[in-house]
Structure 1
Amino acid sequence: MTTTPTLARSVGTAPATRFAGLLPSDPLLLRLSLLTLLNAFGRGLFFPVSVLYFTRIVGLGATSVGVGLTVAGLFGIAAGVPAGWASDRWGRRPVLTLLWAGCGVLLAAYTVVGSYAAFLATAIGYAALCQASMGVRNALYADVLPVRTRVEGRAHLRMVTNVGMGLGGAFGALALQVDSRPGYTVLILADAVAFVVSGWLVHRLPAGAAPRPAADAPREGRLRAVRDLPYLAVTCLNAVLALQYSLLEVGLPLWIVRHTQAPRWSAALVMILNCVLVALLQVRATRGVEDLPGAVRAMRRSGLLLALACAVFACTAGLSPLWGLGVLLVGAVVQVLAEVLSAAGGWTVGYGLADARAQGVYQGVFNSGQAAATMAAPALVTVTAIDHGAAGWAVLGVLFVAAGLGVGPAVRRARRDAWRGEGGAE
């Protein structure tokens, strides 16, 4: 059986780092923060305007755009493993540089799309490259962040991502207000430039910061992640907990409009509150989650907190506007606590159960699980909470609790298999 270390070994040489501010003092983490900030800012620009651009400016039907983006999402899920394999084979820096440069080119192509066929082809290409880049990026983090500070470093970079997305979204809102082709075009091209420059910054990382993976990885083991059933089980449970992101972005706005008397702008307020609290709490949430037992506890608590958040959201039906808003905010705070715990725990198990010699493929698999959850979540939330009210929220709550409680046995199974593999290898 192929050796699978229970904790991925970092091959980077970066020292322990302080994460007190947005831009840290460690030179390597500073570079990662800057390229993360730039990339997130660009994505924040395009995220709020994408659908309106295709429908109002390009002239495509809303249903056609939705179907096209769903198809593109399927290609994105499938792209994670091949890109991870490529990064294991040729290195993270060149592969991530090419992926982000490709994203920039395809984004720029959106500005000249004039037919549905062109839109679909461009959307598929962009989704595949963008989704593939996330797993490679995570593998890059595994290379450059020391094991003892890896989770805290990921938390810091997530904080930077939230800030960048928030700033980009604010500028995107200006384009929505202008609502013209030139305004949308400027934002799309700005996002394209952000991708290309981010790729250039990755290419400019010190040569020793992201070395090629160990050469001792057996050829037949490079795709082991797709056959590693215990790791796949953990990936699926983490994906269930990741449903919460679409719950906040899609389910809650629909719930507010259809089932509560809270002001419609409550959805925007909840999103702002989420961004602010994640930025404030994510680094702190990593304390005690640096090892697998700590990650299991964090993910178990996350499942319980998500169930509590579902119950709180369900209680808002029929309340007065003021009370409804207040209870929504309480539920949003509970959901944020669950989010930062599940994110920290997910990073630890995703890295800690992976074969360090094939982090690219393993992170591609792990990230594909989250991508699948993101794609499936809107339909799931609609057929549960939106269509069936409190009973639907209860179903979601049970699902979250089951996933949180299931992480422990799945991780123990994965560690036991890894231990046997090490013993067999010796």
Structure 2
Amino acid sequence: MNNSEFIQRKEAATPRGVGVMCRFHIDRAQNAELWDVEGNRYLDFAAGIAVLNTGHRHPRVINAVREQLDRFMHTCYQVVPYASYVELAETLNARVPGDFDKKTALFSTGAEAVENAIKVARAATGRPAVIAFGGSFHGRTMMGMALTGKVAPYKLGFGPFPSEVFHAPFPSASAGVSTDDALAAIHALFKMDVDPQRVAAIIFEPVQGEGGFNPAPADFVRGLRAICDQYGILLIADEVQTGFARTGKLLAMEHHDVCADITTMAKSLAGGFPLSAVTGRKDLMDAAAPGGLGGTYAGNPLAVAAALAVIRVIDEERLCERAIVLGDRLKAHLHALRETVPQLIDVRGPGAMIAAEFSDPQTRKPDAAFVKRVQTLALERGLILLTCGVNANVIRFLFPLTIGDAQFAEGIENLVDVMREAATQRQALVV
């Protein structure tokens, strides 16, 4: 089946609500490269939306899953438990920031982790309300959508959403929102919308994902911690996209001098296998009654085996350090491009969680069309890129941290070429 035949079958058999970027389908992949069924090669700077920090088919992950597959595939942990689930929980309890006793529950997806973190917070505090932020993304379930601070495409036509969810602006230099503005907005919520004594949790991403790869400033995180401490509110760090070496630390909250009460994780936790986790203070995690947490596939043994292997790979291959090296190389090239690509207004992000933001040089308004053109040209050259941002004017870079130097250099060369080409085309249209 060639790519054209595949597209026809896909459109006939699957709903348009499952948006698909590429007009080809994959045949095989290895590390940072993949090939479609017609033999075309691509460099993967998307990594399954931050799922493949350890690359496609890392041999350590494959071997761990194969060994587990030879023993058993599924029992449902809540029916017949297994030691690897407990081992992974112990590992996350030790590695998640926070000098306090912790417990961990495993689930299947990032949205599940977020939903269960909210359940834990409500059970532990006896309070209903939650505060999230504009530009945030927390999943496509009903609570996930309620928390998400971006309407299109995630919320269109799906309401009403769960109540008692409130939003405040997230700090962003390009949007003109300072830390003081964002913290003041939370206090304004307390005066106009919700009694702080009714708020169970504030949930935030240490670096916003879909919102535009906006890092949370250190003083903002400290401010959130202070507000939570003042009013008995729990702080939830959504590390679904930021976790597992992407930002140069195992978890992004390690960049800060305060800790969250509850942490959600998924994506690169299991190197491509569906697995998520909620790790939190011991007393909080024990608030739910037996049976209140879990799921039929939650903590699947194949995914758990993969996760234990992923964490070993991150440590032994020093992927946190690698993220910083690769991120610095990319940022240097992007900064150099600002002389010839006037649309490029900002380069930001810790480690290898890098964003490039674009606006129209004349109007200074977000330039989503330019970003789409760069993405299209890159794909034609065999480079897979993702976009993000409330205004769809940001390119985000999520290459595997295991990418070889030659492949990384090739990808950067293609990126530089297509950005310059897109800028030249735009200039020709203006003239």
Give the structure-2-normalised TM-score.
Answer: 0.29
TM-score between the two structures when normalised by the length of structure 1: 0.30
Relative to total residues, which structure has the larger helix share, 1 or 2?
1
